[in-house]
Amino acid sequence: MRVLSGIQPTGNLHLGNYLGAIRNWVAMQEEMTGESRCFFFLADLHSISEHLSPADRLRNVREMAAALVACGIDPERSVLFNQARVPAHAEMQWLLNGTARMGWLSRMTQFKDKAGKNREGASVALFTYPVLQAADVLLYQATHVPVGEDQKQHLELTRDIAIKFNTDFGVELFTVPEPYIPKETARIMSLRDGTAKMSKSDPSDMSRINLTDDDDLLVQKIRKAKTDAEPIPADPAELAGRAEATNLIDIYGAFSGQDRAAICQQFGGQGFGAFKPALAELLVHHLGPIRQRYLALKDDHGAIDAILIEGARKAAAAAHPTLMGAYEAMGLMR
Ligand code: TYM
């Protein structure tokens, strides 16, 4: 079993990233023993699909690395690095560009969403981004990739690329990876609109919980979160069609460890005026210590850079055999 996942270092880590992915990264890290390792990285090469000043990009990488450590990623036990320090990612992407099909990439919903109506003006990197993601995963022979629901299509593409490469060149080079997407937290929704996912790109900061939000702001965001006028039902089946209510209940459950049925039993018949303070208290309790660890580490650039340099050294060594295998399989090197 080899676990690998990545995150774009753009803006803050939000509750969707944390519950959809990072928390599972930490849990998987805790389960791994011996030589089997987890690889977690900042996808800074992916971030070039949108323009950013060099100073902002560097700051984002450091801050996101500090946030991952604050969430519990232990650089002694897992390999934590940024993609740009491991050139094998960019090299492998170029090799896989021969295998990936235009039609496959054209169907990627994330490209369509992000490019919007202005496809002609989108960067080439935004279009070929999923091939780099395939390179990220395949370089390390990852078997399990813990992500949120929105990455499922990219991982299906990764599988297609792995299978086609192995078949075309008659090799067993790439391991075909499995996505790992726990159901209840697969898609944490916006606090302002239960039909949109919680996202860094939403212009309203009130739509998301950032792991840097202080206690007062957390309480305020939950108090102002959109809900409906109905009380919480005693039967979870009656949550159907109530996207905002379901989202808040799922966030509660993610921290309390209860399923929807138990939460509905506990709060059934009560309005959101009673539920929201309990939810806010739970968030303050769980996120406060993460925020404190983050603030203590974030400005220690020396410590963060040392972690990333050492992580990149280990990652490069792990990626090397697969990269060489791809060159050889394609007749580019012997
Ligand atoms: P990114 O940076 O958009 O998100 C990082 C992780 O957070 C998850 N996520 C969510 N989960 C539940 N609810 C939400 N509202 C929510 N928002 C984000 C994402 O699914 C993701 O797991 N392309 C990737 C980064 C990447 C990658 C990889 C991932 C690059 N290479 C290789 C896995 C393997 C991305 O942009 O994630």
Q: Is 142 in the pocket of ligand 1 (CB under 6 A)?
A: no
Q: Does the structure show a pLDDT above 80 at 35?
A: no
3-state secondary structure 202-247: CCCHHHCCECCCCHHHHHHHHHHCCCCCCCCCCCHHHHCCCHHHHH
Q: Specify whether 226 is catalytic.
A: no
DSSP, res 20:
I
Q: Specify whether 112 is catalytic.
A: no
What distance in Å separates the CA atoms of residue 63 and residue 59, rounded to the nearest whole number? 6
Strands 38-42 and 3-7: parallel
CA of 111 to the centre of ligand 1 (A): 14
Q: Does the structure show a pLDDT above 70 at 32?
A: yes
Active-site hit among 117, 164, 183, 197: 197
Q: Whose CA is nearest to atom 19 of ligand 1?
A: 148
φ, ψ dihedrals at 224, nearest 5°? -90, -5
- The H-or-E segment that residue 279 falls in is helix 272-297
Q: What pLDDT score was predicted for residue 48? A: 95
CATH class, range 2-186+300-329: alpha beta
Residue 36's pLDDT band, with cuts at 50, 70 and 90, is low
**Is residue 3 within 8 Å of 146, Cβ to Cβ?**
yes
Q: What pLDDT score was predicted for residue 81? A: 98
- How many degrees, rounded to 5, is the angle at CA 284 between CA 283 and CA 288? 115
Nearest residue to 181 (alpha-carbon basis) of 143, 159, 144, 149: 149
- Which of 4, 12, 17 maximizes ligand 1 atoms within 8 Å of its Cβ, making it the mutation to test the pocket? 17
φ, ψ dihedrals at 10, nearest 5°? -125, 120
Give per-residue pLDDT as tens, 66-94.
999 999 999 999 999 999 999 999 999 99
Mean pLDDT in residue range 144-167:
97
DSSP, res 188:
P
Q: Is 133 in the pocket of ligand 1 (CB under 6 A)?
A: yes
Distance set, CA 175 to CA 32, 161, 218, 328 (Å): 19, 11, 42, 17
DSSP, res 75:
T
> If DSSP codes are grouped into helix, strand and coil, which group holds residue 77?
coil
Mean pLDDT in residue range 124-144:
97
Q: Give the CATH H-level superfamily of domain 205-296.
A: Tyrosyl-Transfer RNA Synthetase (1.10.240.10)
CA of 146 to the centre of ligand 1 (A): 9
- Which of 147, 154, 161, 246 maximizes ligand 1 atoms within 8 Å of its Cβ, making it the mutation to test the pocket? 147
The mean of the pLDDT values for the chain is 96
CA of 270 to the centre of ligand 1 (A): 35
Q: Is 158 in the pocket of ligand 1 (CB under 6 A)?
A: no
Mean pLDDT in residue range 22-48:
91
Strands 79-82 and 144-146: unpaired
Q: Does the structure show a pLDDT above 90 at 174?
A: yes
Give per-residue pLDDT as tens, 273-285.
999 999 999 999 9
CA of 147 to the centre of ligand 1 (A): 6
Q: Specify whether 200 is catalytic.
A: yes
Q: Where are the domains of the chain?
A: 2-186+300-329, 205-296
Q: What pLDDT score was predicted for residue 223? A: 97
Residue 12's pLDDT band, with cuts at 50, 70 and 90, is confident
Q: What pLDDT score was predicted for residue 184? A: 80
Q: What pLDDT score was predicted for residue 334? A: 83
